[in-house]
Chains A and B, each alone.
Chain A
Amino acid sequence: MLTVLITGLATGAIYAATALAYNVMFSTSKVLSVTTGHLSMLGGVFGSFFISVLKLPIPVGLAGATMVGIAAGLVTELVAVRRVLSRSDEHLWLLSTLALATMIQQAVGLWWGTEPKPFPRLIPQDFSAGLLDQKYWLPVAVVALIAVGLELLYRFTMFGKIFIAVSEDAFAARARGIATERVRALSYALAGVIGALAGFAAGQLTFAFFALGLTLTLNGFIALAFGGLGSNAGALVGGAALGLLSAIATYFFGGEYQNTIAVGLLMIVLLVKPEGLFGKKTVRAV
Chain B
Amino acid sequence: MTDSRFRVAAIAVAAAAAIALPFFVADQYQLHLATLIATYWILVAGLNVVVGFSGQLSIGHVGLLAIGSYAFTILAGQHGVDPFIATMAAGAIGATCGFLLGLPSLRLPGFYFAMATLAFALIVGELSLAEQDLTGGGAGLAVPGFPAPFDTPGGFYWLVLAMAALVTWVTANIARLMWGRALVAIRDSEVAARANGVPVFRMKLLVFTFSGFTAGVSGALFASLQTYVTPETFTFELGLFFFIAIVVGGRGGILGPFLGLVLLTLLPEVVAPLARVGNFFYGALLLVVVLAVPEGIGHLVSTLRERFRPIKVEKQPVSPDLTRLATAIHAGKRG
Residues of A within 8 A of B (CB): 32, 79-80, 83-84, 87, 89-92, 94-96, 98-103, 106-107, 110, 214, 218, 221-222, 225, 254, 256-260, 262-263, 266-267, 270-271
Contacts and interface: CB of A to CB of B under 8 A. Distances in A.
A165 B282 CA distance: 38
Given A218-B119, A260-B127, A92 B283 contact: no
Interface of B: 55, 57, 59, 104-105, 108, 110-112, 114-116, 118-120, 122-123, 126-127, 129-130, 236-237, 240, 244, 247, 276-280, 282-284, 286-287, 290-291, 294
A83 B288 CA distance: 12
A106 B110 contact: no
Contacts of B55: 91
B283 A103 contact: yes
Contact of B284 (A80, A89, A103, A266): A103
B57 A91 contact: yes
A91 B110 contact: yes
Contacts, number: 100
Contact of A107 (B122, B123, B280, B282): B280
Contacts of A103: 280, 283-284, 287
A100 B283 contact: yes
A273 to B, nearest CB: 14
Considering the complex of A and B, which 3 residue pairs feature the smallest CB-CB distances, nearest first? A102-B283, A256-B130, A106-B280
Given A102-B283, A259-B126, 9 more contacts: A79-B287, A91-B110, A95-B57, A99-B284, A106-B279, A106-B280, A256-B127, A260-B126, A263-B120
Nearest to A108: B280
B286 A99 contact: yes
A177 B148 CA distance: 75
A100 B287 contact: yes
Contacts of B278: 106
Contact of A102 (B126, B127, B282): B282
Contact of A92 (B127, B237, B284, B290): B290
A256 B129 contact: yes
Contact of B291 (A96, A106, A260): A96
A107 B287 CA distance: 14
B280 A102 contact: yes
Most A CB contacts (10 A, CB to CB) among B111, B116, B122, B237 go to B111
B277 A259 contact: no
A260 B114 CA distance: 16
B126 A257 contact: yes
A97 to B, nearest CB: 9
A8 B14 CA distance: 57
Given A103-B280, A257-B126, A92 B111 contact: no
B129 to A, nearest CB: 6
Contacts of A214: 118, 236
A260 B112 contact: no
A221 B59 contact: no
B277 A110 contact: yes
A79 B286 CA distance: 13
Contact of B123 (A101, A102, A221, A263): A263
A79 B292 CA distance: 12
30 contacts: A79-B287, A79-B291, A80-B287, A84-B291, A94-B57, A94-B111, A95-B290, A96-B287, A98-B59, A98-B286, A102-B280, A103-B280, A103-B284, A106-B278, A110-B276, A110-B277, A214-B118, A214-B236, A218-B115, A218-B118, A218-B122, A222-B119, A257-B126, A257-B127, A259-B123, A260-B123, A266-B116, A266-B119, A267-B105, A267-B116
Contacts of A263: 116, 119-120, 123
Contacts of A260: 123, 126-127
Contacts of A225: 112
A110 B273 CA distance: 13
A218 B112 CA distance: 10
A270 B112 CA distance: 10
Contacts of A32: 111
B286 A102 contact: yes
Contacts of B283: 99-103, 106
Contacts of B280: 102-103, 106-107, 110
Contacts of A83: 291
B184 to A, nearest CB: 14
Contacts of A89: 294
Contacts of B114: 94, 98
Most B CB contacts (10 A, CB to CB) among A99, A101, A214 go to A99
A263 B101 CA distance: 12
Contact of B130 (A102, A254, A270): A254
A270 B104 CA distance: 9
Given A107-B280, A218-B122, A225-B112, A102 B291 contact: no
A2 to B, nearest CB: 26
A38 to B, nearest CB: 12
Contacts of A107: 280
Contacts of B116: 263, 266-267
A254 B126 CA distance: 11
A102 B279 contact: yes
B276 to A, nearest CB: 8
A214 B279 CA distance: 14
B123 A267 contact: no
